[in-house]
Amino acid sequence: MHTDLSPHLHTQHCNQLINELKKCHEENNFSKFIGACNKFDSAVVKCLKKERIARSAANRAKARQRQADLKSRENQAF
């Protein structure tokens, strides 16, 4: 099961892979259940993981910056 695959949530590259996976599922009604689309699914999973890691790193950097700003404001108050 994937996260939300809405186009506005992902990069252009991942959206392309998601569309290829959806197309494979449409073209292979039964064989998708026995692995016909596994290579597309694996590519989507890898792409989504890269996006998640990048998002997490950006969020950590923002949190560090907020903490540094908060500490500097606290030091200026004294």
Asked if 59 contacts 50 with a C-beta cutoff of 8 angstroms, the reply is no
Q: How far apart are CA 7 and CA 74, in angstroms?
A: 42
Separation in Å, CA 8 to CA 4, 20, 53, 59, 69: 10, 17, 18, 19, 31
Between 76 and 66, the more confident residue is 66
- Name the more confident of 70 and 49: 49
Whole-model pTM: value is: 0.77
* pLDDT tens profile 8-62: 999 999 999 999 999 999 999 899 889 999 999 999 999 999 999 999 999 999 9
CA distance 77 to 70: 11
What is the structure's pLDDT at 3? Answer: 83
Contact 48, 16 (CB under 8 A): no
